[in-house]
Chain A
Amino acid sequence: MSRLRDIPIHVEPSAQIEPPARAGGLGGGVTAILSEAAGLLEKLADGGKPALIDLRSLPMSPRDRAALQGALGEGEVRVTLNADGISTLYETAIAGLWWVEHRNGQGDLIAELLEITRFPLILDSAPDEIATSAAALRALVHAGSTAHMAGEEHATRQ
């Protein structure tokens, strides 16, 4: 009886299809993104507005994506945001260049961006929410002091 290795099976190349790399080791798309980010960072440094690059709008192979992440590195700040699924934001080794990854409640990647900014927009607390929470905190302080006074009164009576 033939053994398993006698059965003529040959392993096909990986299903992970990779287009040919361009000169310099980075795919053409990666170089274009880095160049665009550099231009936007220069504008930000000159007092310009924050900007975003949508990484999903560009045709990138997994290798291109890994090359881009490798080229940008990771800096000092990493933030996890839990709002309708987990989002991860970290500043790359390039100050002012943030990698933003949004996932939905099922863990699927729903948006991936480079944000060129001093501080990612989504992390900022909203003015209307601050107003509401200030009132809520004031009510909490009031309730606390009332309870405290009630407690003192209770102790005095005893």
Chain B
Amino acid sequence: MPHDSDLNVGEMLRRHGVGRRAFIKFCTATVSALALPPWMGPAMADQLREARRPSVIYLSFQECTGCFESFTRSFAPTIENLIFNVVSLDYDDTLMAASGDAAESALAQAMQQNFGKYVLIVDGSIPTGAGGACCTAGGRSAVDSLREAAKGAAVIICVGTCSAFGGIPFANPNPTEAWPVSAIIGDKPLINVSGCPPVPEVITGTLLQYVTTGRLPDLDEQRRPKAFFGNTIHDRCYRRPFYDEGKFAKSFDDEGARNGWCLYELGCKGPTTYNACATLKWNGGTSFPIESGHGCISCSEPGFWDKGSLYAPLATAEWGKAGDNSPVRTLELGAAAAAAGGVIGVGSAGLGRWRQHRREHPIGNPPEDE
């Protein structure tokens, strides 16, 4: 019996008795979820049948497991479909039956067997304070584990705002001196799938798109796939006609709120937030926060936690335009140093400057001249 990673997707499908029509349907649904041109469904079916199933290693660091919970709730493609047909998930400490030394040796084996070829998914920020002691597994710090796993990765997919931009751990006052992955690893292709958590289909869709094409998707300046982060929530919001007509809810229980008017004046950050919530929605397309009566809190944008009240209208909050205060840009120095091997020192230095900036500017963007 060949190792799973040696089989292409078509062989796996034949092994599971999946017919061509079912597979075209799977690809059609996936392309729809990816917001790719719909004629790509049949093309994806052809390409995927020939594609090799890549080994996927999923590492969790300073995080709440909300992103992984989201990942497992993807409707199209489902995680079962991905794991059984499209990828070989070789390590995930939440899903795998093994634990302790057995789990750690599975990780080492997966990295060794697929060196240079595996997809590394990272969930959570990387704490560097106290010598990395704030997050350890198997006696090793998150920063050491990440750097070792990154060596043999073909691509790194950062799932969630914590691994993409630092997220809640990175928020002021950042007691663990947490950083996003891009601050630690600077020499690998990297995709950020932000969100707190990301939309399930955005996680699985990004992975599938990479597996199908074998290359990075088109990325925006925050390294997010444009297929999902190309439009603002506001661009695609079904309440947009009310915004255009100047009809706004003034409180969460007034007539405007009951009539489903625009939530802009209640602090909705939809106009400056790039994400797919308004089109893909959540829970299999059931709804999304604005449809449930609450404004967007901009959880897929860098530094959203530190930008002042979630309920202050954009016009009065110091929110700026989307992507203004990317830690990615601020941390380029840290990333370059990571390649040279001195990440913690330089990272801490960067953090020191950021803290000083914070004292002077309690709300606002990090310094740009790093």
Contacts and interface: CB of A to CB of B under 8 A. Distances in A.
Interface of A: 12-13, 17-20, 28, 51-54, 56-57, 59-61, 81, 83-85, 87, 102, 104, 108-113, 121-122, 126, 129
A59 B238 contact: yes
Given A108-B285, A121-B42, 15 more contacts: A12-B258, A19-B239, A20-B242, A28-B241, A54-B35, A83-B21, A84-B22, A87-B25, A102-B25, A102-B28, A104-B29, A110-B76, A111-B25, A113-B32, A122-B28
A123 B39 CA distance: 15
Counting from the closest, the 6 A-B pairs by CB-CB distance are A17-B260, A52-B38, A110-B29, A83-B22, A84-B22, A19-B241
Interface string B247-283: 0000000000011100000000000000000110000
Contacts of A13: 258-259
Nearest to A85: B25
Contact of A20 (B21, B38, B42, B245): B245
B31 to A, nearest CB: 8
B49 to A, nearest CB: 10
Interface string B11-44: 0000000111110111011011101001101100
Interface of B: 18-22, 24-26, 28-29, 31-33, 35, 38-39, 41-42, 75-76, 78, 236-242, 245, 258-260, 278-279, 284-285, 291
A87 to B, nearest CB: 6
A111 B39 contact: no
A85 to B, nearest CB: 8
27 contacts: A13-B258, A17-B259, A19-B238, A19-B240, A19-B241, A19-B242, A19-B260, A20-B241, A52-B41, A53-B38, A57-B32, A57-B38, A59-B236, A81-B21, A83-B19, A102-B28, A104-B29, A109-B285, A110-B25, A110-B76, A111-B32, A111-B76, A113-B28, A113-B38, A122-B24, A126-B20, A129-B19
A110 B28 CA distance: 9
B24 A121 contact: yes
A60 B291 CA distance: 13
Nearest to A55: B32
Interface-central residue, A12, A13, A102, by most chain B CB under 10 Å: A102
Contacts of A111: 25, 28-29, 32, 76
Contacts of B238: 17, 19, 59-61
Contacts of B260: 17-19
A145 B24 CA distance: 37
A51 B39 contact: yes
Contacts of A122: 21, 24-25, 28
B38 A54 contact: yes
Contact of A104 (B75, B236, B259, B278): B75
Contacts of A108: 75, 284-285
Nearest to B39: A52
B231 to A, nearest CB: 10
A12 B291 CA distance: 16
Contacts of B241: 19-20, 28
Nearest to A49: B39
